[in-house]
Structure 1
Amino acid sequence: MTGNPHLAARIERAGLTQGELADRLNQRIGALTGQLGKLTDRHVRNWVTGKTRWPQTRQRLVLEEEFGVTAEELGFSPPAGRERAPSEDSVRRRTFTTATASLTAAALLSSAPSNGSRRVGMSDADRLERNFVELVHDDNETGASIRLETRALAHAQHALDLQAVGQAATRVRQRLYYLAAAFTGTALWAAVDSQQPQRALGHLHQAMKLAGMAGSSEMQMRLWGHAALLSYQEHQMHDALAAAEAGTREHICRQDPLFRSLASARLAGIQSALGEDTPARRSLAAAEKAYQRADLEDERAAWMAFFDRAELDGLSALVMGRLGRHADSEAHLHRTLARLRPEYRRNRTYYGLNLALAQLAQGEAEQAHATALQYLPAPGQKTSGRTGKLLQQFDQGLTRLAPGSRIAVEWADRYAEGDQTP
């Protein structure tokens, strides 16, 4: 587990172990002071896990030189009320920072013509896009995690590094900005799914900026959906509603009914959370109508692969549950689980636990208990984020509905064997 995915992503991007990074930083300290540094992998581990949130001045300086960005951009935060101390080595830092960024990115380029110039082409973007498809597949199969967040940030930095040092046509640059936005959006989703709002907000701002530079309505629509969920988690419901509405206004929703269906379903989810019964059902009907009009064989962005009939039923179930229509919610969830692709294990657990909650809300304690047991993690397996919260809700709900019963005791024992950290 890491509390600083920005630094972790930079380390992974550089292909370094924690011990190797410590050695490199010690060399830099030696060049700076005349005496070799004494950093170890333990220092690096403390930075990555977030145990050390603001390294000492000398350590920050060599970290900035190593990665070519400020300590804040590496994910460090000064203690409240403390400003960055001025450094007499600031000129050296700026000079070395520029050189480091250029050398790091240049090493990524596939070819170097004899005249010394370097070209970035569609083949470079194609390689990045293949990596993005792999990340999307990993997310669908195993779920969002800090590892996914770190990998996504590393790939986003790769796309920006290529822009920094290579010559590229406008079309290539636009695509690289799109990919940087796509990777950052995946990091955003991982932070949202793990319920890490502070990190998610930083990713959201960066991803929106990159999507704007790419001129991608499709990517902005994706990001508005994540922004709506983030605001919902933070109980900022008016912001959540505004973000969901913004998603439905993106050009891609007028162009492609499948995107319009997803945006409308997400809007219905926020409206239902606000208790707006009629608007929510109207948005859900619009989502259904748009889905029926969509050509499912059309080629679309990799991140949209998750949105199929099963997912629309799942989103509909969440809307029905929030509106208190638990029998309707249960029916949608049964259809979702029957249609869900086998590789979507994270979604199967998420919707399975929602099914148990829908049954619990109807007073069906025995059935709800049997359902929830199917999705309870193995003993010792960590569960966090949204899944952990659902398990906690079920635990509390079963205790209220059937206190002291056989199933409540059995559930409590099984639940205690796991490591739930919502």
Structure 2
Amino acid sequence: MLLNFRVANHRSIREEQELQLHPAYDADRPPGTDWAAVPVVGLFGANAAGKSNLVGALEYMARMVLNSHRDAEPGDGITRSVFRLDAAAADEPSWYVVDLLLDEVRYTYGFSVDDERVVDEWLYSYPLGKKRRIFERPDGDVHPGDSQARRELELVENITEPNVLFLTMAARSKQEDFRPVYDWFATGLRFGGGRARPPLGAPAVQVPDVAELLALLRSADLGIEEYGTERQVMDEDALRRLYGGRVPQRELARLEERGPREFVRPWFGHRGRSGVVRMELHEESAGTRALLEQAPRFLSVLQRGGTFIVDEIDSSLHPLLTTRLIRLFQDPETNPRAAQLIFTSHDASLLGRVDGEDILKRDQVWFVEKERHGETRLIALSEFKPRTGENHERRYLGGSYGGVPFIDESFTKALAARGDEHGETA
């Protein structure tokens, strides 16, 4: 479970920004839970405010943890994306920190990097609430904690290049105290994009529980009553049916070169006048295909636990469907492992209410805005001391919280003048 994320000097983020996931209001906790962090966080803001950069910063941190030993050649330095609108930023480190709760133990892990090397790195745990140093790496020198096997960690340090994270090498060298944090980045943290689309003819997404997926499809009122999969050989006849009779030349060339391929393809049973009619994925609407692509990922993280990050969740899903998915994370019955959903969105309707209840609680909403010099700033809704039952959607659109685009009159006048010019020309 992610408790906190901090980042500085990454793309549009200049000064330290902190995403705090600790509950702020006991009254807003999902009934029957004592979760240490909120199950859902929504990040709202105008285009180019930096929402995706915040998500990208956490993704960069995960990539460094999992792949720094593969991506970095000795002496090649480190690839990073600093704040470009301040020349001094290029000479300063970029740094990233997470606080995690894993098997009831809190961990803090972070690192800072410049263009050449890992400048600083550290890992602490807090068993029984007391701080325990696992290791520190100030200025590139590793200092193991008192409980660590120093000789073994010295061997790991000897094979750790200056541009590689020590956590990566220690965890891969089977140092047990390093594994929980490394494993969270490897399997507990997942990323999804609202714009993702499966190619036609691609294998179906692995569905963790067909019954749960079918219940979700039914609740979305898409007219889908049944769901299943079947193996299908993609030969020329199948391609002709798939593409409506005219098969692209590239597909025919691939078929001639490689031969027929076998896929596991989903089918969907729709209500019809004479009963249930089976339809294939390509026959569904774009919105339905988007839900079918995303839903198994949501259901998987709900079953297994972890933190799921979705950038631009509203770019492919209808707000009512997004609301349905959010509620799955809010309910301990459908979220027994305290999984988390963190998403970015432009859709202010998600700040509203459905059936008399807030879709997102007061401590689950953050706003992202750009300041005068292009720096991203992260602001919690809770900083505005919102009252219970307050209309967050209306206040956000009215500019009370920030994070909305500002278009001055010169833009409107320029458009009007351009229209007049074309009118005169015509």
Give the TM-score range, shorter chain: under 0.3
Task: State the TM-score, normalized to the length of structure 2.
Answer: 0.28
Task: State the TM-score, normalized to the length of structure 1.
Answer: 0.28
| Higher RCO, 1 vs 2 (CA within 8 Å, ≥6 residues apart) | 2
Name the structure with the higher strand share: 2
Name the structure with the higher helix share: 1
